């Protein structure tokens, strides 16, 4: 079973905690890189450790949360080998994995329900990369 590493800022904290409980109940090992409360903080402080973990181990999947999903997504995508996608519904989650081989799912906590987030994460974790025509496209992403 894949290891999951998660992080959030204050805006995503409660949703992150819901997802940790959900994934733990499913039997996943979840590594929480912070934040650890809903007090204001900077998403980058918690995004970088997730990106480092995913960079170092292709069996690790990241799930990150912030209010819009944008800031934390931009931060993790600065890392080589990271393909993070903002997913606000299950269809985008599916396409992020199947077409883009995304290894981090970024969820906009202020725009999706906890129930939707669980579905997004479930689809992300259970969708395989299709390969094929998508491989050449993925190889063109890094500079």
User: Which residue in 66, 87, 94, 134 is the catalytic one?
Assistant: 66
Q: Is the previous residue joined to 35 through a cis bond, with omega within 30 degrees of 0? A: yes
3-state secondary structure 33-59: CCCCCCCCCCCHHHHHHHHHHHHHCCC
Pairing mode, if any, of strands 84-86 and 104-108?
Answer: parallel
User: Is residue 35 flagged as an active site residue?
Assistant: no
User: Which residue in 48, 94, 99, 134 is the catalytic one?
Assistant: 99
Backbone angles phi, psi at 56, to 5 degrees: -85, -15
CB-CB neighbours of 41 under 10 Å: 17
Residues 6+ apart with CB under 8 A from 53: 5, 31, 33, 60, 62
User: Is residue 14 flagged as an active site residue?
Assistant: no
The residues carrying an active-site annotation are 66, 99
């Amino acid at each position: 079973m894949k290891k999951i590493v998660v992080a959030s800022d204050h805006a995503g904290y409660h949703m992150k905690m819901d997802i940790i409980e959900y994934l733990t109940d499913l039997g996943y090992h979840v590594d929480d890189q912070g934040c650890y409360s809903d007090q204001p903080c900077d998403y980058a402080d918690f995004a970088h450790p997730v990106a480092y973990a995913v960079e170092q181990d292709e069996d690790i999947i990241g799930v990150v949360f912030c209010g819009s999903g944008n800031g934390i997504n931009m931060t993790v995508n600065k890392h080589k080998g990271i393909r993070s996608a903002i997913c606000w519904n299950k269809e985008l989650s599916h396409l992020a994995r199947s077409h883009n081989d995304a290894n981090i799912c970024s969820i906009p906590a202020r725009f999706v329900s906890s129930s939707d987030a669980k579905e997004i994460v479930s689809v992300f974790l259970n969708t395989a990369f299709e390969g094929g025509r998508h491989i050449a496209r993925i190889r063109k992403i890094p500079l």
